[in-house]
Amino acid sequence: MEEELVQRSHASSFASSSEGDYAQSHEGQDDENEDAAGSGVLSDSEPNDADDFDYYQDVYRFVGAMKEGFQNRKISVDWETIQRKKAEVKEEFQRKKDEVTEAVISSKERIKEKSREKLDAGKKKILKLRKKTYKRLKAMEPEENYRQKVVFTKSVLTLVLKTFAVCSGQWLLPWYYAITCPTLIVWRIITYWQAQFQYFCLDFCYFGNLIILLILWLNPSSPELCSLIFSLANGMLYLGAFSFRNSLVFHSVDKMTSTYIHTVPILLSFGIRWYPEVTSRYWHASFPTEALDPSWQWNVLVPFLVMVTHSALYTLLVNVILQPEEHIVTSYRYLSAKKSIKRVFGPNPPYIVFVTVNWICSLFFSTLSMVFYSYFYFHVLGICVLFWFVTWNGAGYYFSVFRMSLATKNDRETDKEE
């Protein structure tokens, strides 16, 4: 502000002095012009050098005054105060930064502490559940152990029987399938109805087994229908074993039934396709000894139409007529809850996506079944891969159960010692 006043005062003094000098010089020039005019002679007088010198002196004085004012103003600034303020601001900024850093660290520590508390609480709950499970198993141990031993023995003997039937006694395959398949499916419907899993019994796996049973009893001599049996068994039923992670758990009737539904039709198709004469030796009708050549019609198109028909009936029955409640599990709800499905299609994929994926898989695995249908060793390889998968899953189940059981026993013994 003081600098502006100094500039304005100097500028006004310069302006007044210059205006005064300009007026005086012009008055003198006007007098001379009047004298010259009076005498009738024009004067070509040159500018007065003294006046120009005074004018420039005033300019120099004004500039000097401005410089002096600027120097005085510069000297009058308190640089120590500025430096002190700067240091205070820097110190305040550092203090705020330290406070924020400390707050973030303390917040992280609180979160970690809460996480530890929740983890400890979860471990305690798991321990309690293990104790309760152990007590329940202990209470029902005699009866349950006996039942599991019986189921285990039957499962192992059945596996031995299947191996013999596939390798040497193929005539056993149609009789074994025709008797055991309806029995296990009826038992599955009863138990699943009690557990509110009854909508699983409407899946394509059961629909495909029903069609195979009908063909087996009504017209097993038709080469076209035998090709359809092969494509259904080695197509979507083959895929179902992988989709539902079937496992050979010999003491579990439920898991062995699920494995049976997806694997035994494949063994039956193996006998019908590669050993038709031996397979039909004691059956009520003969299987075709000369199978059809692989064709898109019976190996791909017809199985796909069967899949589309099942999808239409399933959608009409489940989504339109019955409309199960949210707590009841269906195949769509079961598969859409899997992590692998969520990674690909996101959470809660639409039902139309589920149906479309089934159709695409049907086309793909029906095409794969053509390879199995054409080459014996490829079919054997496919069966080996399938049984390796279910055996691996069964091994994982057994190790998980045994490990959890061992941990429960150790925890119980530790509690007794304490």
At 275, the amino acid letter reads Y
Residues 277 and 390 in one domain: yes
Per-residue pLDDT tens digits for 211-258: 999 999 999 999 999 999 999 999 999 999 998 899 998 888 899 999
- Range of lowest pLDDT (61-75, 102-116, 194-208, 384-398): 61-75
pLDDT, position 77: 57
Mean pLDDT calculated for residue range 370-392: 94
- Cα–Cα distance measured from residue 230 to residue 368, given in angstroms and rounded to the nearest whole number: 11
**Residue 135 pLDDT greater than 70, yes or no:** no
pLDDT, position 340: 79
Predicted confidence band of residue 24 (pLDDT cuts 50, 70, 90): very low
Residues 156 and 73 in one domain: no
Q: What does the H/E/C string look like for 308-338?
A: HHHHHHHHHHHHHHHCCCCCCCCHHHHHHCC
Mean pLDDT calculated for residue range 379-383: 95
**Residue 329 pLDDT greater than 80, yes or no:** yes
How many folded domains does the chain comprise? 2
Residues 55 and 163 in one domain: no
- Range of lowest pLDDT (139-148, 315-324, 351-360): 139-148
Q: Is residue 131 part of a domain?
A: no
The answer to whether 375 touches 101, Cβ cutoff 8 Å, is no
pLDDT, position 141: 53
Residues 210 and 308 in one domain: yes
Q: Is residue 62 part of a domain?
A: yes
pLDDT, position 42: 41
The answer to whether 291 touches 273, Cβ cutoff 8 Å, is yes
Residues 72 and 183 in one domain: no
Per-residue pLDDT tens digits for 263-275: 999 999 999 999 9
pLDDT, position 190: 93
Give the count of beta carbons closer than 10 Å to the beta carbon of residue 346: 11
- Range of lowest pLDDT (67-71, 270-274, 350-354, 387-391): 67-71
Residues 194 and 285 in one domain: yes
- Cα–Cα distance measured from residue 359 to residue 236, given in angstroms and rounded to the nearest whole number: 10
Q: Which helix (H) or strand (E) holds 46?
A: none
Mean pLDDT of the chain: 81
pLDDT, position 267: 95
Residues 217 and 330 in one domain: yes
Helix (H, G, I), strand (E, B) or coil at 45: coil
Examine the fold and report which residue of 60, 77, 94 is the final residue of a domain before the chain moves on.
77
Residues 33 and 175 in one domain: no
Mean pLDDT calculated for residue range 120-146: 68
Examine the fold and report which residue of 41, 60, 77 is the final residue of a domain before the chain moves on.
77
Examine the fold and report which residue of 77, 94, 129 is the final residue of a domain before the chain moves on.
77
- Range of lowest pLDDT (1-10, 164-173, 343-352, 376-385): 1-10
Residues 278 and 402 in one domain: yes
Q: Is residue 120 part of a domain?
A: no
**Residue 36 pLDDT greater than 50, yes or no:** no
**Residue 341 pLDDT greater than 90, yes or no:** no
Give the count of beta carbons closer than 10 Å to the beta carbon of residue 387: 18
**Residue 17 pLDDT greater than 80, yes or no:** no
Q: Is residue 298 part of a domain?
A: yes
- Cα–Cα distance measured from residue 10 to residue 257, given in angstroms and rounded to the nearest whole number: 110
Give the domain range for residue 16. 2-77
Residues 171 and 268 in one domain: yes
**Residue 307 pLDDT greater than 90, yes or no:** yes
Q: Is residue 370 part of a domain?
A: yes
Question: What is the share, in percent, of the chain residues with pLDDT greater than 70?
Answer: 77
pLDDT, position 1: 43
